[in-house]
Amino acid sequence: MSIVFGIDHGNNHVKALSTFTRKPLLLPSYFSRPSDLGDVEEDLLNQRDELKLHRFFSNAYKDEVYVWGEDINKSKQFMITNGKEGRYKQKPYLLLSEFIMAYLVKESSDTNLFPDVTVVTGCPTREKGHAVEQELIKAFEGAHVVSIDGNDKIITVKEVFVMPQPLGTILDLYLDDEGYVADDSYESKYVGVIDIGGGTVDIDGVKGLKRQKDDMDTFGPGVIDTYQRIANFIVEADPYSGATRSKVEQQLAAGTEGYKISERSTIDIKEIKERVFRELAENLVNQVQSRWSTFTRFDEIILTGGGAAIPEIAEAFRTLDKDIKIIKNSQFANAKGFYKYGLSKTHKGN
């Protein structure tokens, strides 16, 4: 039976599931070289309880070692994989795609050989059906030899399914955890999906599980730019703060009101944070309204993606439509839907 990977390789975070994972993977969409951790990286990496990082080596790039994991934000320099022209052909994206797959099977103790893997992943709405979709398929398809913490994983991807990003959430609602139909109402409903990601915002009209060309679009910016604006504000206040987009996001996720530079120094970001998120929410609502002039044609409207969990954004869209369905754990919804779809394909194959 084929092993299924559901991978949502976003501009900001990787969300992924496999047969071997006990909970969804959530890690930043960037990695580093060991040397970028500083002069003490060897000592730090040996103290696994203090620094949660894994070492990766890809056979596609011999003699190159990289690190990735929960504590990657402690690195001084990053290899980023966020959206740009030719993204799926770039070395950082290709490498991280392999690291993701190796991570998803690291819990398997029975074998290091995975000869029949199905990958289900997503792309922005506007990319579906275009040449870049084939570039994305090529990034995953075929044999991959990847080492994670010294353990080789030989992964052969036989099938790749690329879904338009917002469809992942509908599949998560439509299918159960085993990949069987859980809610057949989606076979007839006309659903408007608003997917707010790190780099892009995708909207899709999905009628009877089929996308409607007149109601789909991709635009930006997403949430990433908001974190960057806050980082710029901090750097203007203190040029030596070392503030970056990823560090701002990390501290905000921890619930801090101020940006902590050190134990002795904190910058108040309450006002700038409220302003930039309010402006982002207003801009997003305006863009969606300009694309969808009426909402009454939809049986259901869904707000999903990592941005749906930001209170200012959720509230702005509630004001737009009081019946909007805001997905719980929205950051994982697409990856879960991709995984469930992969399971459903294995059932049909049997």
Query: What pTM, to 2 d.p., does this model score?
Result: 0.91
Give residue 253's pLDDT.
Answer: 78
When comparing pLDDT for 85 and 320, which is higher?
Answer: 320
Give residue 12's pLDDT.
Answer: 86
Taking 70 as the threshold, does the pLDDT of residue 350 lie above it?
Answer: no
**Are residues 191 and 158 part of one domain?**
no
Tally the domains of the chain.
2
Residue 209 maps to which CATH number? 3.30.420.40
Strand partners, 154: 113, 145
From the number of C-beta atoms within 10 Å of its C-beta (0-12, 13-18, 19+), residue 135 rates as middle
The single-letter DSSP state of residue 269 is -
- Asked whether residue 132 is domain-assigned, the answer is yes
**Are residues 13 and 116 part of one domain?**
yes
Give residue 48's pLDDT.
Answer: 47
What is the average pLDDT across 116-140? 94
Rounded to 5°, angle at Cα 85 from 80 and 90? 50
The label of the residue with tokens 């030899």 reads 145
**Are residues 257 and 327 part of one domain?**
yes
pLDDT band at 23 (very low <50, low <70, confident <90, very high): confident
Taking 60 as the threshold, does the pLDDT of residue 45 lie above it?
Answer: no
Question: What are the pLDDT digits (tens) for 60-107?
Answer: 998 899 999 999 988 888 898 986 778 999 999 999 999 999 999 998
**Are residues 84 and 192 part of one domain?**
no
- Asked whether residue 176 is domain-assigned, the answer is no
Taking 80 as the threshold, does the pLDDT of residue 1 lie above it?
Answer: no
Please give the residue range of the domain that contains residue 103. Answer: 3-164
User: How high is the mean pLDDT of the chain?
Assistant: 91
- Asked whether residue 180 is domain-assigned, the answer is no
**Are residues 203 and 151 part of one domain?**
no
Taking 60 as the threshold, does the pLDDT of residue 44 lie above it?
Answer: no
- Asked whether residue 338 is domain-assigned, the answer is no
- Asked whether residue 340 is domain-assigned, the answer is no
**Are residues 189 and 68 part of one domain?**
no
**Are residues 214 and 283 part of one domain?**
yes
**Are residues 34 and 134 part of one domain?**
yes
Question: What are the pLDDT digits (tens) for 182-204?
Answer: 999 999 999 999 999 888 899 99
Determine the distance from the C-alpha atom of residue 237 to the mean position of all C-alpha atoms in its chain, rounded to a whole number: 31
The label of the residue with tokens 């084939």 reads 134
In angstroms, the CA 137 to CA 142 distance is: 10
Q: What is the identity of the amino acid at 296?
A: T
When comparing pLDDT for 47 and 241, which is higher?
Answer: 241
- Asked whether residue 63 is domain-assigned, the answer is yes
The single-letter DSSP state of residue 175 is B
Range in 122-136, 215-229, 247-261 with the lowest mean pLDDT: 247-261
